[in-house]
C-alpha cells in the first residue's frame, strides 16, 4: 500500500496539504480560499468532493481561511483540538455539529493513523502531525520556533517529511521587517530558520531514503537555493549525502507540488 502527498500551498499566504492512501482523502489545513483549494486539488487530479476530512494544525488565518467554506460546500468533517476549535470558530463560520470533530490524542481516519504532537508557535494549542499507514510514516512539522526532543522522536524515521525552512537569518535581520516582527519570527514561538532545519534534520533521518520537503519558505527573507545549500551543507557535515541517503525538494506558495508517492 502506498500513500500519495501533494503540498497544495505553503507559506504565509496560505497552507494546505493533501494526503491519500487511495481510499481516504484528507487535507491538513486549508489556508487559501475554498475556490483556490478546489482549483489546486483539480490540478493534481483530485475531486474536492472526495475529501473525507480536514485536519487543522492551528487557528492562524493562513491555515484556516478555506476550512469553513469547504466543510459547508462538500460536507467535510473538520478535526481540531479543543483550544484550536475555540480560537478558530470566529473565522470558520457555522459548521454542522456532526462535522465538528475534537481530537485529544491519536485517532484514525479509515486506515490512516493520525498522531498529533505539540508544536511551539504563537497559537492557542498548535500541533504537528505524523501519519501512519501500515509500515509507512509521514511527518508534518511547520510553524514552530523550536523543535523539542518530543517532536523529534515523533518525526524520526519519516518516509516523507514536510519541514519548515522559513528564513535565512541574515536576510531576516537585515531586511525591512519591523523589529517586533523579526523578534517574533526568531522566537521560540516563531519559525524555524534554514540553519535550524539544517541542524535538526540529521537527527531525524534513518536509512529508509526519506524524501524531505522544505516548506513555509518566506517570500521576503529566504531564497529556495539558499535554503537548499544551507540544508545540504548541514547534512554533509553529519555524513549525509543528498541523492545517496535522502532526497530534498520544496513546497511552493503559488502552486501545488506534484503528487509524491510514498511506499
CATH architecture of the domain with range 3-262:
4-Layer Sandwich (3.60)
Predicted local confidence at residue 98, as pLDDT = 97
Q: Tell me: the pLDDT tens digits for 74-110?
A: 999 999 999 999 999 999 999 999 999 999 999 999 9
Q: What are the domain boundaries of the chain?
A: 3-262
Closest of 113, 83, 80 to residue 1, by C-alpha: 113
Q: What is the pLDDT along the chain (263 residues), one digit of tens a residue?
A: 799 999 999 999 999 999 999 999 999 999 999 999 999 999 999 999 999 999 999 999 999 999 999 999 999 999 999 999 999 999 999 999 999 999 999 999 999 999 999 999 999 999 999 999 999 999 999 999 999 999 999 999 999 999 999 999 999 999 999 999 999 999 999 999 999 999 999 999 999 999 999 999 999 999 999 999 999 999 999 999 999 999 999 999 999 999 999 99
The CA distance from 140 to 17, in Å, is 9
Q: How far is CA 145 from the centre of its chain?
A: 14
DSSP annotation string for 239-251: T--BTTTBEEEE-
Provide the H-helix boundaries in 52-193: 61-64, 67-74, 82-92, 149-155, 169-174, 179-186
Closest of 15, 40, 49 to residue 30, by C-alpha: 15
Collapsing DSSP to helix, strand or coil, 46 comes out as: coil
Cell numbers for 115? 498522531
Predicted local confidence at residue 50, as pLDDT = 98
Pairing of strands 53-55, 247-250: unpaired
Predicted local confidence at residue 146, as pLDDT = 98
Collapsing DSSP to helix, strand or coil, 140 comes out as: strand
Q: What is the DSSP letter of 161?
A: E
User: Which residue is it, cell 488565518?
Assistant: 61
Predicted local confidence at residue 1, as pLDDT = 77
Amino acid at each position: 500500500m502506498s500513500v500519495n502527498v501533494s503540498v497544495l500551498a505553503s507559506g504565509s499566504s496560505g497552507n494546505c496539504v493533501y494526503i491519500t492512501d487511495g481510499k481516504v482523502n484528507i487535507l491538513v489545513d486549508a489556508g487559501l480560499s475554498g475556490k483556490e483549494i478546489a482549483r489546486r486539488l483539480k490540478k493534481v487530479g483530485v475531486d474536492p468532493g472526495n475529501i473525507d476530512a480536514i485536519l487543522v494544525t492551528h487557528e492562524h488565518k493562513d491555515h484556516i481561511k478555506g476550512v469553513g467554506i469547504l466543510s459547508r460546500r462538500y460536507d467535510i468533517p473538520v478535526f481540531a483540538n479543543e483550544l484550536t476549535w475555540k480560537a478558530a470558530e470566529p473565522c470558520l463560520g457555522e459548521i454542522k455539529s456532526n462535522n465538528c470533530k475534537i481530537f485529544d490524542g491519536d485517532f484514525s481516519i479509515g486506515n490512516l493513523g493520525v498522531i498529533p504532537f505539540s508544536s511551539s508557535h504563537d497559537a492557542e494549542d498548535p500541533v504537528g502531525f505524523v501519519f501512519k499507514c501500515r509500515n509507512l510514516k509521514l511527518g508534518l512539522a511547520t510553524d514552530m520556533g523550536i523543535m523539542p526532543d518530543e517532536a523529534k522522536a515523533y518525526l524520526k524515521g519519516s518516509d516523507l517529511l514536510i519541514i519548515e525552512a522559513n528564513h535565512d537569518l541574515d536576510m531576516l535581520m537585515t531586511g525591512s521587517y519591523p523589529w517586533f516582527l523579526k523578534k517574533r519570527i526568531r522566537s521560540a514561538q516563531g519559525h524555524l530558520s534554514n540553519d535550524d532545519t539544517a541542524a535538526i534534520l540529521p537527527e531525524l533521518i534513518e536509512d529508509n531514503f526519506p524524501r524531505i520537503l522544505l516548506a513555509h519558505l518566506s517570500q521576503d527573507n529566504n531564497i529556495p537555493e539558499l535554503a537548499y545549500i544551507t540544508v545540504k551543507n548541514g547534512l554533509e557535515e553529519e555524513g549525509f549525502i543528498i541523492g545517496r541517503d535522502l532526497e530534498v525538494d520544496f513546497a511552493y506558495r503559488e502552486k501545488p507540488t506534484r503528487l509524491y508517492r510514498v511506499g
